Amino acid sequence: MNQAMAPHEPRPTPIFRPPRPNRHAGAAPVPEGHTGRIAIRDFSFWYGVNRAVAGVSLDIAQRAITAFIGPSGCGKSTLLRSINRLNALIPGTRHSGAVLLDEEDVYAKGFDVVTLRQRVGMVFQRSNPFPRSIYDNVAFGPRVNGIARRGELDEIVETSLKRAALWEEVRDRLRTSALALSGGQQQRLCIARALANDPEVLLLDEPASALDPIATQRIEELLYELRRELTIVIVTHNLQQAARLSDATAFFYLGELVETGATGEFFTSPHEPRTEAYVTGRFG
């Protein structure tokens, strides 16, 4: 096995600690039973006649980082986006099976999609800040959710930026355009924007693939700290990143879940031949 890729590497040294455990000061109390547990049960997803995800069943641990890996087109991003129903916005799609958030099927009739996307935040491959100020980017979600008092918004913005390890870099220019930030800063701003809604789950689709190594390290350090508070699921093509960052890893191939397990064992002693072939670089 390729030892450069396989070992479960040491965790990155944290660069900060969140100013508060869990929720920001302006948030409402966590409803009883909201813990961020995700259970996927025999879930399939189709784009028209093409099945992208094939009968996947998977438990995702709360307050931990789970990495989805696999070659391009294997269904990992489709499954990630299915957790908060983003793919359901695409015409001609359909699904079968269930995605449970704290034992409730998010696809059940009557499940509030707006609430779902507050509870399950999403960060995309390329940073997508709004063409507004840094402050307005972070305050956008809370304002939509009915928070209007300036002092409360100020508290949410500051706390969210601190949780995203960005406050010290932008505190003196909150009213300047978010588009003036560097690529890495913009991605952390997008994380702060998701955190402002106080989610229980954070989904990230290759959040560092377009970043330089220093910015990538900052994102990884940030995610490792946030795992104290959130259930985190990350799609990555970077096997070294999955090995050093995640607690659990799931390998997908041709829409199927091939293997999942604790990351250390997954990379050093995979059970499935296809998994070993992928993590040692023989295909993919």
- Return the CA Rg of the chain: 19
Instruction: Classify residue 165: in a domain, yes or no.
Output: no
Instruction: Classify residue 74: in a domain, yes or no.
Output: yes
pLDDT at 88: 84
Q: End-to-end alpha-carbon separation of the chain, Å?
A: 15
Number of H helices and E strands in the chain, helices first, is: 10, 10
Instruction: Let me know: does 66 contact 250? Beta carbons within 8 Å.
Output: yes
Instruction: Classify residue 96: in a domain, yes or no.
Output: yes
Report the distance separating Cα 60 and Cα 143, nearest Å: 31
pLDDT at 269: 94
Instruction: Classify residue 250: in a domain, yes or no.
Output: yes
Instruction: Classify residue 5: in a domain, yes or no.
Output: no
Q: Higher-confidence residue: 67 or 14?
A: 67
**CATH number, domain with residue 262:** 3.40.50.300
Residue 274 is encoded by which pair of tokens?
Answer: 């296809």
Q: Per residue in 136-154, pLDDT tens?
A: 999 999 999 899 999 999 9
Total structural domains within the chain = 1
pLDDT at 89: 86
SS3 220: helix
- Residue-averaged pLDDT of the chain: 89
pLDDT at 57: 98
Q: Which residue has the tokens 């040294």?
A: 13
| Exposure string over 239-267, b if 16+ CB within 10 A, otherwise e | bebbbbbbbbbbbbbebebbbbbebbebb
Instruction: Classify residue 137: in a domain, yes or no.
Output: no
Q: Per residue in 13-62, pLDDT tens?
A: 333 333 333 445 444 444 556 788 999 999 999 999 999 999 999 999 99
pLDDT at 7: 43
Q: Is the pLDDT of residue 12 over 50?
A: no
Q: Is the pLDDT of residue 260 over 90?
A: yes
Instruction: Classify residue 209: in a domain, yes or no.
Output: yes
pLDDT at 226: 95
Kindly give, in sequence order, each residue whose CB lies less than 8 Å from that of residue 188, ignoring residues fewer than 6 positions away.
164, 165, 166, 218, 219, 222
**How many CA atoms are closer than 13 Å to the CA of 115, on its beta-carbon side?**
10
| Exposure string over 218-234, b if 16+ CB within 10 A, otherwise e | bbbbbbbbbbebbbbbb
Residue 87 is encoded by which pair of tokens?
Answer: 């793919």
Mean pLDDT, residues 183-208: 96
Mean pLDDT, residues 180-184: 95
Q: Is the pLDDT of residue 194 over 60?
A: yes
Instruction: Let me know: does 96 contact 54? Beta carbons within 8 Å.
Output: no
User: Rounded to 5 degrees, what are φ and ψ at 159?
Assistant: -65, -40
What range defines the domain where residue 207 resides?
38-130+199-279
Q: Please, which pLDDT band fits residue 273 given cuts at 50, 70 and 90?
A: very high
Mean pLDDT, residues 98-103: 96
Instruction: Classify residue 81: in a domain, yes or no.
Output: yes
Q: Please, which pLDDT band fits residue 4 given cuts at 50, 70 and 90?
A: very low
